[in-house]
Structure 1
Amino acid sequence: MPWFRKLLQVSSSSLRKASPLNPRYIFSSNYTSQTGGLEPTKPNEKPRVVVLGSGWAGCRLMKGIDTNIYDVVCVSPRNHMVFTPLLASTCVGTLEFRSVAEPIGRIQPAISTAPGSYFFLANCKGIDVDDHVVHCETVTDGVDTLHPWNFKIAYDKLVIASGAEALTFGIKGVKEHATFLREVSHAQEIRRKLLLNLMLSDVPGISEEEKRRLLHCVVIGGGPTGVEFSGELSDFIMKDVRERYLHVKDYIHVTLIEANEILSSFDDRLRQYATKQLTKSGVRLMRGIVKDVQPQKIILNDGTEVPYGLLVWSTGVGPSSFIHSLQLPKSPGGRIGVDEWLRVPSLQDVFSIGDCCGFLESTGRPVLPALAQVAERQGKYLAALLNRIGKDGGGYANSARDMELGKQFIYKHLGSMATVGRYKALVDLRQSKEGKGLSMTGFVSWFIWRSAYLTRVVSWRNRFYVAVNWATTFVFGRDISRI
């Protein structure tokens, strides 16, 4: 295909700087003069929805969009959705990595089969709001393998669902030495480092001090992710490490460091239960604020030094550098500001959903928490809204300017769940921290937690994988191969 070969020949040497004063671009960025891409849709073609991101929000939108009305184009640096609630289980071998990764083509089959729908492994670099065009740059394994190239995509409707990134609070050394837990690659890195430390600590000649450091796993952040990972790790240590690494079983331990209270969004009774269970599992709870992160130790604000072999950073999320670069009105906290219909009010045909957006102060609504259930609900709502717009003839660019959009997006919290290891979990079904509702703990909660997440896994294929992985782990234990 000559046009595709021509697209591949675009090199990074032709990059030029876009003028920050040009009002057509909502943020200034490097881009090339385009030689290929998707041109604006013609009257005899379906309108095109471009989705930036493949997280909970973007994938739920793509799953619900009517492909008889729209062509769907997804632009994302990963070709799958991660089922994040079960990601911690993959770090210790309770689940396989592919069990929590859902290919985009399975979520929306039209991307693989329809002639006008595509998935592009790329990042958005700029948005031309006058011409309804997004400028993209491909994701590669580095310039030593393949130079990234640039292309453009014309859109009729644009949905920004690019998610958020881990908060580091500007603390020195976090990005260099800590591991986050948001992607499958992060879980793989944690598993490899954990098993490497286990094997190194068993080598003759290692000092007692170095052995304790290598086997000290430190988790920063006492939210649901940090607590669940600590619980999974303590289970791994109690049931597998102490059985298969007898020489080092008394050296390995987990420390969870939180500035305030763990699981602050949960009921006080549930927090106390979680603290008791984690302590019983051997997790050390420390209160403190990290001041500096060094290659083999962290320093707290009171001067305490905590050596570590594995450091997992789980302190919440905030707007990414991409979102920061957008010259758009922002909600409190720096997210993209949206109205009650999840539109970006200052732009025509542009919507935003998921962790990257929040209600503008002018709406009088609070910014919703960065939760999977919020993103999923927003994706479902916006899919229905766009389908309705398309059926009423407003799918093409600039054709829905004065259209009545109907019901506004309203979020109702369904509750929170977290596992703390040892077949124990917490279930909090209150709609708010101050509200009243059912809350429970123990084995029944753990069963509810597993059942709920098993039903929320996107495909039957992955539900089967998860169920088989759980059964295999229960019978034979976790796999400790370092692959």
Structure 2
Amino acid sequence: MAFLRSLSRCLSRSFSTSAAAASIPSAGGGLSPTFVGREKPRVVVLGTGWAGCRLMKGIDTGIYDVVCVSPRNHMVFTPLLASTCVGTLEFRSVAEPIGRIQPAISRAPGSFFFLAKCTALDTESHTVHCETVTDGAGKTTLEPWKFKVSYDKLVIASGSEASTFGINGVKEHAIFLREVYHAQEIRRKLLLNLMLSDVPGISENEKCRLLHCVVVGGGPTGVEFSGELSDFIIKDVHERYSHVKDYIHVTLIEANEILSSFDVRLRQYATNQLTKSGVRLVRGIVKDVQPEKIILNDGTEVPYGLLVWSTGVGPSPFVSSLQLPKAPGGRIGVDEWLRIPSVQDVFSIGDCSGFLESTGKPTLPALAQVAERQGKYLANLLNRIGKAGGGHANSAANVDLGAPFVYRHLGSMATVGRYKALVDLRQSKEEKGLSLAGFVSWFIWRSAYLTRVISWRNRFYVAINWLTTFVFGRDISRI
């Protein structure tokens, strides 16, 4: 009887029709438009990257309801993602749940998080079409639910995708390094190859192939991963896999120069440091990727056991499909206030957006600090609009938007392993400024990123992981 009474209460709550309860999506349903004067205006955010999360952190939930639509329910602290691949950090240390970044999503009746992807956008009716993400649902295949969400203000912060440049076999055989599951896959593959190479009967050639780690792309991600991997080999593999320690090697392939945005002196320092650590640097262009080898444009064949691809980013298929003005590079075009000028109440921030050529502003780099500052700026702008009474759809035409967005570069940092790093504080490649390399830079790198980790909880995790790794070495369990 107690169970039946409990079930009855649940059903009565489910079928009671408050505006917030009725807005929980079902198959073919969704969130209907808000009522002016009776409900808070709704901000819909597409994406949980640096830009979207910083926006949600700064939005005033006393003014707006916040609805986030994303295929992942956490933000990834990408600068430290490479460290998780080799066990320097644990995966949860670099992932921050959305509910911690913006608690209203978990608590407020009109705010939600939907594990879904946006498939279409109707700017006339102020509606986004969504489809739930069901991968990883287990043995039972779940059909995705389709639903619609009406918005008063829409922020497209869906990020970008790794560029493959149309090269055959990249998506099938290479591993990208942009998400936590990418890092998990790299770690499992690396440790599997180490253990397989120690099995009796493996030929010398196969052992060399299994233990050859190839990184394509000499940007900060590729260099930092190569540095972490060389550290792992020197400090852990040589001690714990002594039978195969002479077979494991790292090759970094770059078409031009590594770390091309850094000062020339720092680039040379990084080259020397990586070479000392055993990383082989190859200048070349990948022409074809096959299951066990890649082929360069000069015909050179490079066998590999692990292939990590980090050659930059480009627009996602969703961004490319939107019938919106585009900036150079295929990004969504925005004006100085991060609005999409051809439609009402739609903004775009992060890697998926760029200034329209008509603004006269240069294309901003796809960096975390750009996205984070855009998110902070837009949160303040939306709060300003909401306080002025322009929060609901089509009601912000006469609101003073204030100063436009201005980006000022704070500098670049990258670690190259062995307690060495680079710090380049120049405003741009053409300007002069402070640049450092070595142990002091490594200390600055770690200190800066520790303070930038989103929450005190994760800062504590990261600090403990670093301390544990320093004292006991990396955890190389294949779980």
Instruction: Output the TM-score relative to the length of structure 2.
Output: 0.94
Per-residue deviation at 1:142?
Answer: 6.4
Structure 1: tracts of 5 or more residues without a match: 11-33
Amino acid at match of 1:278: L
Deviation at 1:209, TM superposition (A): 0.3
Q: Does 1:409 align with 2:405?
A: yes
- Is 1:135 aligned to residue 129 of structure 2? yes
- CA 1:421–1:38 in structure 2 vs 1: closer, same or farther (change >3 Å)? same
Alignment CA distance shift 1:37-1:288 (3 Å): same
**Deviations for 1:113-147, whole angstroms, at most 9, x for unmatched residues?**
11111100000111111111111100002684311
Indicate the residue corresponding to 2:7 in structure 1: none
Query: What corresponds to 2:102 in structure 1?
Result: 108
Distance 1:440 1:141 in 2: 44
Q: Pick from 213, 217, 221: which aligns with 1:221?
A: 217
Q: Tell me, yes or no, if structure 1 residue 71 matches structure 2 residue 62.
A: no
- 1:281 equivalent in alignment to 2:305: no
Change (3 A) 1:9 1:400: closer
The one of 61, 74, 82 aligned to 2:76: 82
| Alignment partner of 1:480 is 2:476 | yes
Paired amino acid for 2:31: L
Distance 1:5 1:142 in 2: 28
Aligned to 2:175: 179
* Alignment CA distance shift 1:8-1:148 (3 Å): farther
Deviations 1:294-320 (A, max 9, x none): 000000000000000000000000000
Shift of 1:465: 0.1
Q: CA–CA distance in 2 between the matches of 1:128 and 1:168?
A: 30
Quote the offset at 1:44 in angstroms: 1.2
Q: Deviations over 1:68-108 (max 9, x none)?
A: 11010000000000000000000000000000000000000
Q: CA RMSD in A?
A: 1.4
Decide which of 351, 357, 363 is 1:367's aligned counterpart. 363
Deviations 1:393-414 (A, max 9, x none): 0000000023221100000000
Q: Distance in 1 between matches of 2:324 and 2:292?
A: 41
**Is 1:355 matched with 2:348?**
no
State the distance in 1 between where 2:130 and 2:158 align: 13
Secondary structure of 1:451 counterpart: helix
Verify the 8 A CA contact 1:415 1:431 in the aligned structure 2.
yes
Q: Which residue of 1 aligns with 2:330?
A: 334
Distance in 2 (CA, whole Å) between partners of 1:439 and 1:318 is 29
Aligned to 2:39: 45
Amino acid at match of 2:329: G
* Native 8 Å contact 2:41 2:391 kept in 1: yes
- In 1, the alpha carbon distance for the partners of 2:87 and 2:136 equals 29
Q: Which amino acid aligns with 1:89?
A: S
Deviation sequence 1:143-176 (CA, Å, 0-9, x none): 8431101111110000000000000000000000
Structure 1 residues 70 and 5, CA, compared in 2 at 3 Å: closer, same or farther?
A: closer
Deviation at 1:39, TM superposition (A): 1.0
Kindly provide the amino acid, as one letter, of the partner of residue 78 in structure 2.
T
Greater CA drift, 387-396 or 402-411: 402-411
Quote the residue 1:20 is aligned against.
none
C-alpha offsets along residues 369-389 of structure 1, whole Å, 9 cap, x if unaligned? 000000000000000000000
Q: Which amino acid aligns with 1:45?
A: E
Q: Which residue of 2 aligns with 1:29?
A: none
Q: Quote the Cα distance in structure 1 between the aligned partners of 2:433 and 2:76.
A: 30
Match of 1:343 in 2: 339
Q: Which residue of 1 aligns with 2:444?
A: 448
CA contact (8 A) 1:7 1:151 kept: no
For each residue in 1:313-358, what CA deviation from the matched residue of structure 2 results, as whole angstroms up to 9, or x when unmatched? 0000000000000011100100000000000001100000000000
Could you tell me which residue of structure 2 aligns to residue 59 of structure 1?
Answer: 53
The residue that corresponds to 2:268 in the other structure is: 272
Query: 1-side partners of 2:238 and 2:123: how far apart?
Result: 59
1:294 alignment partner in structure 2: 290
Contact 2:51 2:350 in 1 (8 A): yes
- Please list every run of 5 or more consecutive structure 2 residues that lacks an aligned counterpart in the other structure: 1-13
In the TM superposition, residue 7 of structure 1 has moved relative to its aligned partner by 8.3
Q: Out of 238, 245, 250, which is 1:242 matched to?
A: 238
SS at match of 1:333: helix
Q: Residue 226 of structure 2 corresponds to which residue in structure 1?
A: 230
1:389 aligned to 2:382? no
SS at the partner of 1:479? coil
Structure 2 residue corresponding to 1:200, chosen from 191, 196, 199: 196
The one-letter code matched in structure 1 to 2:125 is D
Task: Look up the SS of the partner of 1:284 in the other structure.
Answer: strand
Q: Is the 8 A contact 1:74 1:119 kept in 2?
A: yes
Per the TM alignment, residue 192 of structure 1 is displaced from its structure 2 partner at its CA by 0.1
Instruction: Judge which range, 99-108 or 125-134, deviates more.
Output: 125-134
C-alpha separation in 2, matches of 1:5 and 1:353: 30
Q: Which residue of 1 aligns with 2:143?
A: 147
The count of corresponding residues between Structure 1 and Structure 2 is 459
**Pair 1:379 & 2:371 matched:** no
1:8 to partner: Cα distance: 8.2
- 8 Å CA contact retained: 1:51, 1:160: yes
Secondary structure, counterpart of 1:425 in structure 2: strand
2:130–2:147 contact (8 Å) kept in structure 1: yes
1:253: which partner in 2? 249
